[in-house]
A and B are shown apart, each in its own frame.
Chain A
Amino acid sequence: MQKEERMMSEYFLGIDVGSVSTDLVIMDEKEKILSKLYLRTRGDPIYVLTESMKKFQQEFGGISIAGVGTTGSGRQLAGVIVGADIVKNEITAHAAASRKIMPEVRTILEIGGQDSKIIFLKDGVVTDFAMNTVCAAGTGSFLDRQAERLGIPIERFGEYALRSKNPTRIAGRCAVFAESDMIHKQQMGYGEEDIIAGLCEALVRNYLSNLAKCKEIDGPIMFQGGVAANVGIVAAFERMLGESVIIPQYYDVMGAYGAALLARQNYQRTGKQTSFHGFSHAYHTFRTRSIECKGCENHCEVIEVRENDTVMARWGDRCGKWSGQNAASATAVKEGTAS
């Protein structure tokens, strides 16, 4: 695309701050992805977020952003830092993205780093969903850990799994038990390929039994999230569901894409000017700290976000004593969650 063209049109920014990865997407008016970033959060969402904004600044500094949407477990924080127009939960964001790519999609499987979800749609409307945040055995982090333990890069996990003729059955409700069972199988002399294929099957089995029990899984089925890159998991899903699974081109940034789409929808509906602070805003210093409020017996842990030396937002309190004082930037966040 020509630089001039870029200057002419309007763009939308979608940000998905998860516990394991932070994904950003810049989308044009035609809802096409112009650029995407997929980075490890590594426990420091602010750093990752500001660094990626700086990167965008260098590349797309001049473009006009008409709307910003944030999602993921760090959506509130990201919303305050960049100045979001809409702050949405991951389920709605993922559904929005998949619906855009394939309007007739019926089931969305999503496996992220720390949680996993399943979303059911009919005629583009979410009809049911389930989300698992407790059990680590159905998440990407579990696979990462096991890959590390076996000394095999996670990227090659899939091909190992596909080579297995006879996957080992690995038991375990949670990651801890599954891990001990895997170690046990390893010591009993099972082959690496079979153990890896067994792990993939265990993850899919756990995922389906936790999230999709007693539910009709209809096609088309879309599989997204970082784990969708793992061909072993894809194969296990297809085997257990008896149906092919579609991996969208931007499987790893679907949450961010959904947030961008929602931001555009919001812009079209309200016509409001964006609250986006601009890419260069990332050069300010942001700090967060937590304060234990001693105002009542609840002892809420209040999170405070500061930009340079001014307080931008506080949240985490139950009574509203702190979050009630939030500045205009935070009001947008609240409106976003409430709409």
Chain B
Amino acid sequence: MKSHHGAEPSKLKVIGIPEGLMIFEQKQLWKKFFESLGCHAVCSGHTTKRIMNSGIELCCNETCLPVKAFTGHAASLCGKADCIFIPRYSSVCSHEKSCPKFCGLPDEVRISLNNKTKFLEIDIDFNRDSKKTQKSLDLLAGELGRSPKTVRDAFDSIVKPGLAAEVSPNRSCSYEPGAPVLAVLGHPYMIFDRLLSMNLIGKLQDAGYRVMTPYDVRRSVRRKNVAPFLSDSFFETGLDMLGGAQALVNLPELAGMVYLSSFACGIDSLVLEIIEHKIRNGRRIPFLKITIDEHSGEAGFDTRIEAFLDMLPNTESIRREKIV
């Protein structure tokens, strides 16, 4: 592990935290974690056009939009922090796994940024090997010049409980009974990111709908609602989608579902098919699948949403309500 050797501990005062992918949800945890270790944590902030474009420049074409955005976030921290922190999220709890891209993310970003800055990693692989985490925490302790115990304790008390939290930090809105609801499905770092999602949630709310996402459902409920599958583990975000969709589909106020996917996402191709299979064989809810990538124009995106909303049965009344 090259990045863990030979650094002056005193030099690593400011830690950069790129706000993308899984860290999008958990930046507060990591911020607190580093602050408790006496470091200063800088987050990269919202995704901007500039971050997005630099990520697109740096990454290989084949990877997905969120990874490109993440790389842009990391690049934006060069010069603002002594090192950039990228956890290797292989799995956050047993029987769950992340997208393979997360397993290689620290290396991918390091190479994309041409080793321009220093990187810190932590391995999180509770499904396959939780000892890896301990090992990587010890290395991190060496880098920061803290005792391994302090770092392990900080991780166990601050980060660990939040990795698979019951309640997500990102929730779309309060839920009022009786109002027509649109369910928005998608990875949290897509649907809650205004730029990546082209403000999908905001646009739906402006059209007079109440938006709910799987992250408005408690994690244990999301997990309980997943139908059994053959393998003994499943993609974490996939479970959120499957369980969340199943929980939301039973809401009487549900008017439709929108699935926001990034172009060529492997997990979505699988999860979408299972959800569509459920909808085909169960309550037939109007379902819109939107795929976006860096080439998507907002005009076409808006057109599709408008057309979908016009297709929903009780559109008329909502529209009238909005005018009043």
Contacts and interface: CB of A to CB of B under 8 A. Distances in A.
Direct contact between the two chains A and B in their complex (CB within 8 A): yes
A32 interface: no
A209 to B, nearest CB: 7
A171 B60 contact: no
B299 A209 contact: no
A210 interface: yes
Interface of A: 170-174, 177, 180-181, 184, 209-210, 213-214
A209 B53 CA distance: 12
Interface residues of B, number: 13
Interface stretch (B13-21, B166-174, B289-297): B289-297
Interface in B278-312: 293-300
A180 B300 contact: yes
Contacts of B56: 209
Nearest to B298: A171
B60 A181 contact: no
28 contacts: A170-B297, A171-B295, A171-B296, A171-B297, A171-B298, A172-B295, A172-B297, A173-B263, A173-B293, A173-B294, A173-B295, A173-B296, A174-B295, A177-B295, A177-B296, A177-B297, A177-B300, A180-B299, A180-B300, A181-B299, A181-B300, A184-B297, A184-B299, A184-B300, A213-B60, A213-B61, A214-B58, A214-B60
Q: Main SS of chain B's interface residues?
A: loop
A209 B294 CA distance: 11
Contacts of A174: 295
B137 to A, nearest CB: 33
Nearest to A170: B297
State the 4 A-B residue pairs at the shortest beta-carbon distance, nearest first. A173-B295, A171-B297, A181-B297, A184-B299
Interface of B: 56, 58, 60-61, 263, 293-300
B63 to A, nearest CB: 11
Contacts of B300: 177, 180-181, 184
A177 B293 CA distance: 12
A278 B299 CA distance: 57
B70 to A, nearest CB: 17
A172 B263 CA distance: 13
Given A171-B297, A173-B263, A184-B300, 6 more contacts: A172-B297, A173-B293, A173-B295, A177-B295, A180-B297, A210-B61
Contacts of B293: 173
Contacts of B294: 173
Contacts of B295: 171-174, 177
Nearest to B112: A214
Contacts of A173: 263, 293-296
Contacts of B60: 213-214
Nearest to B296: A171
Contacts of B298: 171
Nearest to B58: A214
B221 to A, nearest CB: 37
Contacts of B58: 214
Contacts of A172: 295, 297
